[in-house]
């Protein structure tokens, strides 16, 4: 009897162990911040980017600030300029809009 059947298994096992060690040495694409940003950028639809850009323009327009945001107390000063509270509220509205747009397109 010979062990010809067991030799290929041993070689395959060694190859798989070597490939696992090689994978451990190479950085994962999710290991650093730049890799995460690049992978997020791959999954975003161009239509979604365009709608988020339009949402940004609408939210940061003078019409929105004067007609909507100024109704909330302490968000604008007497010249209708944003205060710190106004910037925080505007950021929250922007984030909520991005989440809703992302939910629609996913």
Q: pTM of the entire structure? A: 0.59
**pLDDT score at 57:** 95
- Residue among 67, 69, 96 nearest 82 (CA): 69
- Torsion, Cα of 64, 70, 76, 78 (10° steps): 120
Looking at residue 16, its pLDDT comes to: 59
Residues of the chain falling short of pLDDT 50: none
pLDDT at 51: 93
Residue with tokens 């989440």: 99
| Alpha helices, H only, the chain | 6-25, 33-43, 46-59, 62-67, 84-105
Residue 85: per-residue pLDDT: 92
Asked if 80 and 66 count as a contact pair (C-beta separation under 8 A), the reply is yes
**Residue 90 · residue 82 · CB < 8 Å:** yes
């Amino acid at each position: 009897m010979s062990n010809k059947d067991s030799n290929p298994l041993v070689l395959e096992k060694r190859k798989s162990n070597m490939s696992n060690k090689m994978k451990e040495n190479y950085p994962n694409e999710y290991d650093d911040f730049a890799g995460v940003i690049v992978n997020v950028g791959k999954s975003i639809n161009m239509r979604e980017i365009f709608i988020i850009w339009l949402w940004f323009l609408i939210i940061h327009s003078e019409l929105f600030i004067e007609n909507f945001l100024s109704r909330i107390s302490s968000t604008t000063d007497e010249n209708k300029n944003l205060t710190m509270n106004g910037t925080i509220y505007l950021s929250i509205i922007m984030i909520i809009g991005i989440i809703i747009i992302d939910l629609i397109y996913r």
